[in-house]
Amino acid sequence: MAPTSLSPATVEVLDRIEHLFQLSNDRLIDITRQFVEDYNLGLGEYNKAMAMIPTFVTGVPDGSEKGTFLALDLGGTNLRVCEVTLHGDKTFTLRQQKYKVSEELKTGEATRLFDYLADSVDAFLTEMGHEVTDVEALHLGLTFSFPVEQSALDKGVLLTWTKGFAARNAIGKDVVKLLQDAFDRKHLHVRCCALVNDTVGALLSRAYTSGGCFLGAIFGTGTNGAYVEDISKIKKLGDSTSLLGMSKMVVNTEWGAFNNSRSVLPSTPFDNKLDRESINPRFQAYEKFISGMYLGEITRNLLLNLVDASPPILFNGNSTPILNSHYGFDTAYMSDVENASNLDEVQKVIVERVGFKPEDVSLDDAKIVKWACHLVAARAAKLSGCAVASVLIQTGLAKLGGGSSSGDERFSVGVDGSLIQHYPNFEDGLRASLRVLVGSDVESRVDIGLAKDGSGVGAALCALQAVKQEKTLERALQDTSLG
Ligand code: BGC
């Protein structure tokens, strides 16, 4: 509800805006139904908007895995290099270093970006005092959190960039090769043997530490989910499935691209403006409603609309350079606003973060900013519930509208990302829509747990899987030549 202590004319304007952000239960159900439909389209054919990428990961860990691997993680806020040791008892140790990725690297020539990745691994190894022996190369798992169409555990071409990346000459190329070439140019004795999306990393690492997991999901700078699917339902794999002799495979949904046509997503003029001015208009529609990269910008569009209203509704018609700049209002500010315990604190956040003078921010302004942040974030949390519900339904664990397959089974979701971890009440909002979509009983059996260091541990687990597969293959080849 718009704050009622404001003038009736202001309340009327805010109510009209609020109406645009509302999501009825029926709408949530329609969105979720569409999700399931799109999953099946994507499982059936390549080149669908919902990519439903087979990952060639055919099992989830049980905590007994052992080994030390390097992991490189690109696609979140920072670039990270880690060394992960899996102890085989559901625990691990991790040493890591974060590196910044400049806007120039994100949007320049791809080889420069990949050279920078190799330089970072080099710097990390030096810092950790690593001796790279000539005998065996260090094995590295690459967590690459963009849509990549995989054709093997260590092969995959980039379909498109997301989250503000636009490096030239990378789309359509094998990212493992791009990285390996960069290592080779530097004569680094490191071999990239596995490629993994961060959602797959979250799924695997949660399974490693807690013994089971059906969905790995990211609600951070971007959003996406990966789940365990029956291979028989991944029709687009065709006959190659029989070669694997396996029954399950992890699928990276790339749900950020859900409903790019926006036929069921409730677009407001503030969303449309964001999309039009983004570097990938008409793509990643769902991600643009949900994720940390965009929520601040939707809110900024809304706030500026109120500043520009005639007569002005906010800040007396004034703005600041921060509020005027594209992506100037960070989603973290929204979190600060919503965390503030009273309006004086909200005022303080606005002054400190947005650059207003204290005397230019009234308590009414603070009220309206808090209302706007809540409106945008609550819609994101509710919409996030649709994605989680749709995977429960797709995997037969729940039915749309309520009811599940069995009595007291628990459903473990491994999550990561700034929103789910830090945004006030994000999980509550997600759960509220889960209750609408799959019923209270199922919702109460969904365990949402942090996939701690998911990108690093997941990449290590995948690298381990790859090394094991190679050894099995080598043995099989030896047997054949001996025989
Ligand atoms: C990417 C996904 C990734 C997600 C979360 C999206 O923009 O397309 O591959 O999993 O962000 O990082």
pLDDT value for 408: 87
**255 within a domain of the structure (yes/no):** yes
Closest ligand 1 atom, CA of 146? 9
178 falls within a domain:
yes
What separation in Å is there between the alpha carbon of 222 and the centre of ligand 1? Answer: 5
Q: Do residues 366 and 402 share a domain? A: yes
> Does 189 share its domain with 285?
no
Ordered per-residue pLDDT tens for the chain, 483 residues: 677 789 999 999 999 999 999 999 999 999 999 999 999 999 999 999 999 999 999 889 999 999 999 999 999 778 999 999 999 999 999 999 999 999 999 999 999 999 999 999 999 999 988 766 555 789 999 999 999 999 999 999 999 999 999 999 999 999 999 999 999 999 999 999 999 999 999 999 999 999 899 999 999 999 999 999 999 999 999 876 554 578 999 999 999 999 999 999 999 999 999 999 999 999 999 999 999 999 999 999 999 999 999 999 999 999 999 999 999 999 999 999 999 999 999 999 999 999 999 999 999 999 999 999 999 999 999 999 999 999 999 999 999 998 665 678 999 999 999 999 999 999 999 999 999 999 999 999 999 999 989 999 999 999 998 888 777 767 766 776 655
Number of domains in the chain: 2
Q: Is 91 exposed, middle or buried (0-12, 13-18, 19+ CB in 10 A)?
A: exposed
DSSP character string of 268-327: -HHHHHHHHTSSSTTSSHHHHHHSHHHHHHHHHHHHHHHHSSSS--SGGG---HHHHSTT
What number of other Cβ atoms are within 10 A of residue 263's Cβ?
A: 10
Same domain for 45 and 100, yes or no, is no
- Residue 48 belongs to some domain of the structure: yes
Taking the C-alpha atoms of residue 53 and residue 387, their distance in angstroms, rounded to an integer, is 16
What pLDDT shows up at residue 481? 63
Query: For residue 22, is it within any domain?
Result: yes
- Atom index in ligand 1 nearest the CA of residue 287 equals 7
Question: Are 17 and 68 in a shared domain?
Answer: no
Statement to judge: residues 135 and 274 lie in one domain: no
Q: 147 C-alpha to center of ligand 1: Å?
A: 7
Q: Do 66 and 143 belong to one domain? A: yes
Nearest-atom index, ligand 1, CA of 76: 12
CA of 328 to the centre of ligand 1 (A): 22
**279 in a structural domain:** yes
Q: How far apart are CA 219 and CA 386, in angstroms?
A: 13
The closest residue, in CA terms, to atom 8 on ligand 1 is 146
On whether both 91 and 231 belong to a single domain, the answer is no
For ligand 1, mutation pick of 198, 287, 384 (most atoms within 8 Å of CB)? 198
Domain boundary among 196, 228, 247: 196
Report the Cα–Cα distance between both ends of the chain, in Å, rounded: 76
**What is the model's pLDDT at position 482?**
55
Q: Please, are residues 318 and 307 in contact by the beta-carbon 8 Å criterion?
A: yes
Tell me which residue has its CA closest to atom 11 in ligand 1.
222
Q: How far apart are CA 258 and CA 431, in angstroms?
A: 20
Contact present, 434 and 23 (Cβ < 8 Å): no
| Positive or negative: CA dihedral 322, 326, 330, 334 | positive
Query: What's residue 428's pLDDT?
Result: 98
Q: What pLDDT is attached to residue 404?
A: 62
Q: Is 331 exposed, middle or buried (0-12, 13-18, 19+ CB in 10 A)?
A: buried
Q: Are residues 229 and 146 in the same domain?
A: no
To test ligand 1's pocket by mutation, which of 73, 79, 146 has the most ligand atoms within 8 angstroms of CB?
A: 146
Q: How far is the CA of 124 from the centre of ligand 1 (A)?
A: 25
Q: Is 308 a catalytic residue?
A: no
Q: How far is the CA of 416 from the centre of ligand 1 (A)?
A: 12
Last residue in a domain, options 155, 173, 196: 196
Q: Do 130 and 216 sit in the same domain of this protein?
A: no
If asked whether residues 8 and 67 sit together in one domain, one would say no
Ligand 1, residue 75: give the atom nearest the CA.
Answer: 12
Please list, in sequence order, all residues whose beta carbon lies within 8 angstroms of the beta carbon of residue 127, skipping any fewer than 6 positions away: 97
468 occurs within a structural domain: no
Q: Which member of 73, 122, 154, 163 is catalytic?
A: 163
β-pair partners for 69: 84
Q: Given the residues 38, 154, 198, 416, select the one marked as catalytic.
A: 198
For ligand 1, the distance from its centroid to the CA atom of residue 259, given in whole angstroms, is 16
Which CATH number belongs to the domain containing residue 326 in this structure? Answer: 3.40.367.20
Residue 467 covered by a domain: no
Rounded to 5°, the CA angle 191-193-199 comes to: 130
Pocket test for ligand 1, best of 160, 224, 283, 287 (most atoms within 8 A of CB): 224
Compute φ and ψ for 252, nearest 5 degrees.
-90, 110
Active site residue 452: no
Which range of residues forms the domain containing residue 143?
56-196
C-alpha 200 to ligand 1 mean position (Å): 11
pLDDT of amino acid 472: 72
Alpha carbons 49 and 433: distance in angstroms, whole number: 24
Q: Based on the fold, state whether residues 260 and 129 are members of the same structural domain.
A: no
CATH code (residue 150)? 3.30.420.40
Ligand 1 center to 252 CA (angstroms): 10
CB-based contact 393:438 (threshold 8 Å) = yes
**Domain end point (choices 196, 219, 251):** 196
From the CA of 144, give the closest atom in ligand 1. 9
Ligand 1 atom 12: residue of nearest CA: 222
Distance from the alpha carbon of residue 407 to the mean position of ligand 1, in angstroms: 34
Q: What is the reported pTM?
A: 0.94
The protein residue whose alpha carbon is closest to atom 9 in ligand 1 is 146
Residue 478 lies in a domain: no
Same domain, 319 and 183: no
- Residue with CA nearest ligand 1 atom 6: 222
**Most ligand 1 atoms within 8 A of CB, residue of 78, 79, 145 to mutate:** 145
Q: Which residues line ligand 1 (CB under 6 A)?
A: 75, 145-147, 162-163, 197-199, 218, 222-224, 254, 256, 287
